[in-house]
Amino acid sequence: MSTDTTASVSTHILDTSIGRPAAAVTVSLAARSGGDAQWVVLGGSATDADGRCKALPALPEGTTRVRLEFGTEAYFTQEHRSDRQAEAQQDAPRARDSGVFFPEVAITFAVVPGEHYHVPLLLNPFGYSVYRGS
């Protein structure tokens, strides 16, 4: 929960190639207190079966920029993914090393104190998009 001096962040991931939540995706949260300040990694979590990441750390006072990093490579290469999920991804562009076109997704956004920022990730093997949700 945010106070007047801090912002708060939440996220969830939907795999749009199958129309389902993306479970077990690692999410890292970093913050800084201005455009020239160093990034400080605050911690992370992973998405649950609903694709929600409920355990992100609180932002320190003075945070003006936030970066969410999503570990998408492990999600796209999980052996326990269903045949339907594998079929949906078979024509995806592949990177030479990992076989995954987007091995990670990093999103940076500005925050102001007292506001909550819900930043969903819509993900598929071909691309991704984000937006400020509610």
Other CB atoms within 10 A of residue 7 CB: 21
Residue 88 clears pLDDT 70, i.e. is over it: no
Q: What residue spans of the chain are helical by DSSP H? A: 72-76, 83-89
Residue 95 clears pLDDT 70, i.e. is over it: no
Which of the four pLDDT bands, split at 50, 70 and 90, describes residue 93?
Answer: very low
pLDDT tens figures, 12-66: 999 999 999 999 999 999 999 987 899 999 999 999 999 999 889 999 999 999 9
Which pLDDT belongs to residue 82?
A: 55
Which of the four pLDDT bands, split at 50, 70 and 90, describes residue 1?
Answer: low
* CATH of segment(s) 8-130: 2.60.40.180
Cβ proximity of 72 and 104 under 8 Å: yes
Average pLDDT value for the chain: 86
Which of the four pLDDT bands, split at 50, 70 and 90, describes residue 81?
Answer: low
> Position 112: which residue type?
V
CB neighbour list of residue 8: distance below 8 Å, 6 or more residues apart? 1, 2, 58, 59, 115, 116, 117
Which of the four pLDDT bands, split at 50, 70 and 90, describes residue 94?
Answer: very low
- Report the alpha-carbon distance of residue 14 to residue 21 in Å, rounded: 4
Domain boundaries along the sequence of the chain = 8-130
- The two structure tokens encoding residue 17: 């190639």
Give percent of the chain with pLDDT exceeding 70.
Answer: 82
SS3 35: coil
